[in-house]
């Protein structure tokens, strides 16, 4: 289907509502929204309850905690400041946020693309109650660097907290005030934040996140526990139509008074060597790339406590698709919905590549891997030869795939799911890292005595 054809009849509001309800029931999702923008028109639908069992309906205006999609919003404000000449993308971050030692040698461009070498982030209990400045002094230290700046991709909340501080330093405003005044308000989007009680709430309803036990179907509400200092990496609550309004910066000529088209395109410039296995095909300056090169689709996914949200943008086709759900296991529903939309003329493609088919043995992978304060342990044992644990938690059976991908066994549902991949040194050498959720854990080598 060409980008100039009309919205398919199968995507009118009634049929989209039926599709959303069918997918949500199939996957046990208490409440959800979907919005599809195509050929200059947006169709949206809502389903279910804001909190399971309460009867409070999800409407088009309900905000969902969108987690890491917040990073795309932060990145957009950074690019808008670059467009105005207020910062340089290739300047070291320390030029804008002094006092962070050598780890701040990462550039703005590298932080935007998760190639700055910073760790994912500290455990919440380590930084609860800290200001952003104290959080960064704790998390941005040379000894916690995962990779040298520019050496590879490792997903980092810390990098986006640092970008939020860059925004504050350059604008003289808080990060929240800056995204509200520079981006969301001009787009007609209300600014609602979780974990930020000092920022005024718009008054619209916010969906409650849920956990769902796959085998029993038991669904329970969960509390949002975002550390306030990490707001720039994950604090926003938005609706599916809000996400479409944001995505339209990249289609139909964009919104140049907010972000010039040339700078929107920079957000989609895939960085060579940025390999976000398990998350996307590639990464630009704030947006991930999906599908086959030259990458028709861009966007970001986000998980808050008990929510799962997705944004996809097809700049050439003038399409934007957004899904919000209030259950932490909503990714299965996203895949189901994407397949249904493909049959209705929206060619979503989230396929991930196999990038290494050379054999590797279980012994090649045994070891301890670290990302900042986070520790991954791979030990012998289990039905497939290996077991996996995070920060000393109970181990799970691990099975190796043909391309260094590994699969973990969820005993509650008796299902194997993709857990991550092992990474070779310089792509051809021995296994020296593990990548889980896009986060690189470097293999630890015991000191010789």
Find, among 210, 217, 211, 209, the residue nearest to 413 by Cα.
217
d(CA 194, CA 226): 7
Verify whether residue 68 is a known catalytic residue: yes
Q: What is the DSSP letter of 8?
A: P
Instruction: State both tokens at 213.
Output: 């036990």
First to last CA, the chain: 66
d(CA 269, CA 234): 22
Find, among 381, 350, 356, 353, the residue nearest to 433 by Cα.
356
Supply the DSSP string of 292-355, one letter for each residue. STTTSEEEEEE--TT-EEEEEEETTTTEEEEEEESSTTTHHHHHHHHHHHHTTT----------
d(CA 447, CA 184): 51
Q: What is the largest CA-CA distance in the chain?
A: 72
The answer to whether residues 33 and 45 touch, using CB atoms and an 8 Å cutoff, is yes
Place of tokens 């339209």: 248
Which of the residues 2, 15, 52, 68 is marked catalytic?
68
Instruction: State both tokens at 368.
Output: 């301890």
d(CA 66, CA 235): 8
The answer to whether residues 3 and 317 touch, using CB atoms and an 8 Å cutoff, is yes
β-pairing, 209-212 with 405-410?
unpaired
Supply the DSSP string of 162-229, one letter for each residue. HHHHHHHHHHSS-HHHHHIIIIITTTT---EESS-TTSPP-S--BPPEEEE-TTT--EEEE-----GG
Q: What is the DSSP letter of 99?
A: S
β-pairing, 282-283 with 288-290?
antiparallel
d(CA 408, CA 187): 41
Spatial neighbors of 334 by CB under 8 A, at least 6 apart, are 308, 310, 323, 325
So which residues are the catalytic ones?
68
């Amino acid at each position: 289907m060409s980008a100039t054809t009309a919205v398919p009849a199968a995507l009118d509001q009634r049929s989209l509502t039926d599709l959303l309800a069918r997918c949500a029931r199939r996957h046990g999702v208490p409440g959800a929204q979907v919005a599809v923008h195509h050929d200059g028109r947006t169709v949206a639908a809502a389903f279910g309850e804001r909190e399971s069992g309460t009867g409070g309906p999800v409407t088009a205006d309900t905000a969902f905690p969108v987690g890491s999609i917040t990073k795309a919003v932060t990145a957009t404000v950074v690019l808008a400041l670059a467009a105005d000449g207020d910062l340089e993308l290739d300047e070291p971050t320390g030029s804008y946020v002094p006092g962070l030692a050598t780890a701040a040698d990462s550039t703005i461009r590298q932080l935007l693309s998760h190639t700055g070498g910073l760790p994912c982030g500290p455990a919440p209990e380590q930084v609860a109650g800290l200001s952003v400045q104290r959080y960064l002094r704790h998390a941005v230290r040379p000894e916690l660097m995962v990779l040298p700046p520019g050496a590879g991709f490792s997903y980092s909340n810390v990098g986006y907290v640092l970008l939020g501080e860059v925004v504050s330093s350059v604008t003289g405003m808080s990060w929240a005030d800056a995204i509200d005044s520079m981006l969301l308000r001009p787009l007609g989007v209300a600014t609602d934040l979780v974990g930020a009680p000092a920022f005024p709430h718009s008054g619209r309803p916010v969906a409650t996140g849920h956990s769902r036990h796959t085998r029993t179907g038991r669904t329970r509400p969960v509390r949002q526990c975002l550390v306030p200092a990490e707001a720039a990496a994950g604090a926003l609550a938005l609706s599916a139509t809000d996400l479409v309004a944001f995505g339209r910066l990249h289609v139909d000529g964009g919104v140049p008074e907010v972000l010039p088209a040339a700078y929107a395109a920079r957000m989609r410039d895939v960085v060579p060597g940025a390999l976000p296995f398990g998350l996307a095909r590639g990464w630009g300056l704030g947006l991930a790339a999906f599908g086959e090169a030259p990458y028709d689709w861009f966007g970001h996914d986000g998980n808050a406590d008990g929510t799962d949200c997705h944004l996809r943008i097809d700049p050439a086709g003038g399409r934007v698709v957004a899904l919000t759900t209030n259950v932490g296991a909503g990714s299965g529903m996203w895949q189901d919905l994407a397949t249904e939309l493909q049959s209705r003329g929206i060619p979503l493609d989230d396929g991930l590549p196999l990038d290494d088919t050379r054999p590797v043995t279980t012994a090649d992978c045994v070891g301890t891997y670290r990302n900042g304060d986070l520790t991954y342990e791979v030990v012998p044992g289990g039905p497939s030869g290996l077991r996996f644990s995070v920060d000393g938690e109970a181990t799970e059976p691990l099975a190796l795939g043909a391309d260094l991908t590994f699969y973990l066994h969820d005993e509650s549902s008796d299902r194997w799911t993709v857990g991550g991949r092992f990474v070779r040194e310089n792509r051809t050498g021995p296994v020296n890292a593990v990548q889980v959720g896009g986060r690189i854990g470097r293999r630890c080598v015991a000191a010789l005595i």
